[in-house]
Amino acid sequence: MRSIIACFPPRSSLLFARLLSVLLIAFSAQSWSNESKHHAHGDAQQITHVMKAQFDRPDAPLKVHPVVVDGHHAVAGWMQANNGGRALLVKVKDKWTITVCGGDGLRDAKVLAQTGMGEAAAQSLAAKVQAAEAKLSKAQLKQLALFQGELKIEPNTAHGDGHGQGHHKPAQHGQH
């Protein structure tokens, strides 16, 4: 670095220092952005693993897509056979847990805010979910909308027990 600075006359040393500072800040921001994207990708894999571990079946493989992560909250779309819906997950102590199952309501900031997250977080997550789902086909969106209502999942309970009674069509009971 010293040899580079020595190549510039003294007046341009200050300009060079400013340019170097800007480049370092830009590099740091890019590095943070890449780290954040890598972290979100790891979270998406963890979420997919959690959901498949609970619901994947040989006769009806679970497809988890899209997975949208925003901080400690995520919404994951799921499709299994002729059923589908979305799951709201929360990350606590580096572990993702399903807290709500639902359909189109989990695209809505008002519904997300009712789950206990702050309004700003709900608005941000809803916007990201809508943007991710804009890339899906009409058939995929229709399948994600099949889950009727929202079902809160209590910690330490088996998700399948009573899942959906009065919340979605009986044909879906036990399918998710």
Residue 58 phi, psi (nearest 5)? -60, -35
pLDDT tens track for 104-163: 999 999 999 999 999 999 999 999 999 999 999 999 999 999 999 999 998 765 444 333
pLDDT band, residue 18 (cuts 50/70/90): very low
pLDDT at 22 over 80: no
Coil, helix or strand at residue 8: coil
* 79 & 119 share domain: yes
* 25 & 74 share domain: no
Q: What's the distance, Cα to Cα, between the start and end of the chain in Å?
A: 59
* 13 & 56 share domain: no
* 52 & 139 share domain: yes
* 20 & 82 share domain: no
* 85 & 10 share domain: no
* 29 & 61 share domain: no
Per-residue pLDDT at 39 = 55
* 81 & 142 share domain: yes
* 74 & 28 share domain: no
Structure tokens at 118: 């702050």
List the domain range (segments joined by +) for residue 14: 2-34
Residue 29 phi, psi (nearest 5)? -65, -40
String of DSSP letters for 46-111: HHHHHHHHHH-BTTBPEEEEEEEEETTEEEEEEEETTEEEEEEEEEETTEEEEEEEESGGGG-HHH
Structure tokens at 37: 């994207």
* 98 & 160 share domain: yes
Question: Cβ of 17: how many Cβ atoms within 10 Å?
Answer: 12
Tell if the pTM clears 0.75, that is, is over it: no
The percent helix, strand, coil of the chain (3-state, each to 5) is 50, 25, 30
Q: How many domains does the chain have?
A: 2
* 115 & 94 share domain: yes
* 26 & 66 share domain: no
Per-residue pLDDT at 154 = 81
